[in-house]
Amino acid sequence: MTIKNNNNMNSTLSIRNNHLYIEGCDTVELAARFGTPLFVLSETHLRNNLREYKRAFQAHWPEGEVRVMPAIKANPTIAVRRILTEEGAGCDVFGPGELECALRGGVPPEMISVNGSIKDRSIIRKAISIGARIVLDSPQELEICNQVGEELNKTARVMLRLKPYLGDLEEKSDFLPQQEIRELTQTIKYGIPTSEVLPMGPRAMALPFVEPVGVHIHMGRHSKKLSVWGQLIDSYVGLIKQLSELMNGWIPQEVDFGGGFASPQDKETRVAVTDYPTPTLDQYAELITSRFRSAMQRHGMTTEGIMIEVEPGRGLHNETMLHLTQVHNIKRESINIEHQWAEVDTSEVFLGIMGVNPTPPFDYVVANKADQPDDSCFDIVGVTCNAEWLYQQVPVPELEAGDIVAMLNTGAYIEPMATNFNALPRPGMIVVCADQADLIKRHETLDDVFARHLVPERLKNS
C-alpha cells in the first residue's frame, strides 16, 4: 500500500516538504549519506514499544515481577540489543551465535534465557558458567545440565519447555491456514513431548546440580484470537498441575509465555492470514494474566510471587524499521504491451520475500516524492536475476532514476534472513534517534562475500 501523509504512518514517521522523515531525519539524506540499500531503525520507536510491553504486562500482574525477554532472532544486531539492555530487557536466545550477541549487547547473564533445540555440551557449559538460565527441550539436555553442573560445581537454573495439547480447539493457523493449531503445536519439533516431560519433572527435582525454576511455552504467531490464547493458557496450566503433582507440589516461580504476538499493523511476510484486527497489548496482557491467574486458582496453585515473562519478536520490532532503496533505471515497453519498470538496487533476497507473490505486504513511500500524487503505475523490481517483483503494477508518482523508495515494516526477521544470492553484498543498517543517525552494521563488501572461500593448491594455477 502506498502511504500519503499520516495515513497508516507510525508515530516516528512523517512527511515534511515532500520528503519522508524517520524521527528528525530526512530519509532521502540518509540514503545519500549511508548508501542504499539500507535498513533504518528508529531508536525511539523501539524504546517506546519495549516500554509498552513492560507497562501493559506489569499493569495486569501485581503478584510479581514482569520480564520482557525479546527474542533476539528477530533483529540480532549488537547495537539494537544495547538499546533493549538499557531499557532493562532480558533476552531469549537460540544457539551459541545469539548468546554471543546477547553478551556483546550487554545483557546481564542472569537475564538471558538459552532456548533452542539440540543444545550441546558447550552451550550448556557456557550458560551454566555465566549464570544464564536454560530452557530445556529434551530429557537429554537435563542430564547434560546435571553433568556439566557437577563439573563446574554450579547449579543449572532450568525451565521445562512444555507442549500443552489445546484440547477442543479447532482453530486453524494463520501461518499454515490448512492446519489446526492444536495439531501444529504438537507436531512441530520444539518443546518437550508431554510423554517425556512428565517423568522429567521428578527427575529434575532429584538431580543435585539442577534447579527447576519454571516453565516455558511458545505457540508462535498462529493466531491473534484471544480465545486461542485463552485455550493455550488453560492447557498450559493443566500441564503445570500434572507436573506439580508429580513433583511434590512444586510450583514454577518463573513462567514464560513466549512470543507470537502480532505487531500492531501485522504486515507480515511470513504469516498468511493477517486480515483481522490485532488485539492491543493491553488486551493480550489482560487475557494472558487473568486466564493464568484463574486457571492456577482453579487447580489450587498460588500465583503469589511468580515472575512472568514474554518474549516478543515481530510484535516488538516489525514496525521499528524501514528499508531504503534507490531507483537506478526505468524501462518502458509500448509496442506489444504498455508496461514500465523501475529497477531498484535492493532485492527480494534481502527482504525475506523470495517467492512471495504478487506483492509483499510492506507499505511503501517514494521518499523524495512523498506528497506527489500517484499518477503513474510501475513494477518495482529488484536487482538479482530472479523476476524480482518487489511490487507489481503499483500506483506511484512518475518514477525516475535517483528516486528513493522506502519500504516500511521491515524490522522483524527480514534483515537476518538476507542472503548473498548472485554474490551480492548484503545491506547495512543504521539507527536514528531524533536528528542523529549512526551506522550499526556496515554494508557488506565483496571481500566479505568471498571471505570463506578457499582454493586448493592444485587449482591455483588454472
Ligand X SMILES: Cc1ncc(COP(=O)(O)O)c(C=O)c1O
The minimum distance between CB 168 and ligand X, in angstroms, equals 24
By CB under 6 A, residue 220 contacts ligand X = yes
The minimum distance between CB 352 and ligand X, in angstroms, equals 13
The minimum distance between CB 61 and ligand X, in angstroms, equals 19
- Residue recorded with cell 495439531: 183
Region 157-196 residues binding ligand X, contact defined as CB under 6 A: none
By CB under 6 A, residue 229 contacts ligand X = no
Name every residue whose Cβ is closer than 8 Å to that of residue 160 and which is 6 or more positions away in sequence: 136, 192, 197, 200, 201, 204, 212, 214, 215, 216, 243
- Which residue has the CB atom at the shortest distance from ligand X? 313
Nearer to ligand X, 92 or 254 (CB): 92
By CB under 6 A, residue 92 contacts ligand X = yes
User: Which one among 76, 105, 191, 258 touches ligand X, defined by CB under 6 A?
Assistant: 258
ω into 37 cis (within 30 of 0): yes
By CB under 6 A, residue 218 contacts ligand X = yes
Crossing angle, helix 43-59 and helix 281-298, to 10 degrees? 30
Nearer to ligand X, 74 or 432 (CB): 74
By CB under 6 A, residue 221 contacts ligand X = yes
User: Which one among 260, 360, 411, 427 touches ligand X, defined by CB under 6 A?
Assistant: 260
SS3 215: strand
Region 286-315 residues binding ligand X, contact defined as CB under 6 A: 311-315
Q: Which residue intervals of 75-131 are DSSP H helices?
A: 78-86, 95-104, 121-130
User: Which one among 53, 261, 350, 389 touches ligand X, defined by CB under 6 A?
Assistant: 261
Report in angstroms the alpha-carbon separations of 111 from 130, 156, 254: 11, 14, 12
ω into 358 cis (within 30 of 0): yes
Nearer to ligand X, 270 or 443 (CB): 270
Looking at 231-239, 256-264, 414-422, 431-439, which segment touches ligand X (CB under 6 A)? Answer: 256-264
Any long-range contacts for 102-106 (C-beta under 8 Å, 24+ apart)?
A: 102/72, 103/130, 104/78, 105/72, 105/78, 105/79, 105/80, 105/81, 106/81, 106/82
Q: Which residue intervals of 265-374 are DSSP H helices?
A: 281-298, 314-317
Q: Residue 449 and residue 454: Cα distance in Å, rounded? A: 12
Q: CB 375: neighbour CB atoms within 10 A?
A: 9
User: Are 41 and 320 spatial neighbours (Cβ–Cβ below 8 Å)?
Assistant: yes
Region 43-72 residues binding ligand X, contact defined as CB under 6 A: 71
Looking at 11-19, 254-262, 292-300, 369-377, which segment touches ligand X (CB under 6 A)? Answer: 254-262
Site string for ligand X, 357-396 (x = CB under 6 A): ----------------------------------------
By CB under 6 A, residue 352 contacts ligand X = no
User: Are 102 and 81 spatial neighbours (Cβ–Cβ below 8 Å)?
Assistant: yes
Nearer to ligand X, 200 or 271 (CB): 271
Q: How many residues bind ligand X (CB under 6 A)?
A: 16
By CB under 6 A, residue 115 contacts ligand X = yes
Binding site for ligand X (CB under 6 A): 71, 74, 92, 115, 218, 220-221, 258-261, 311-315
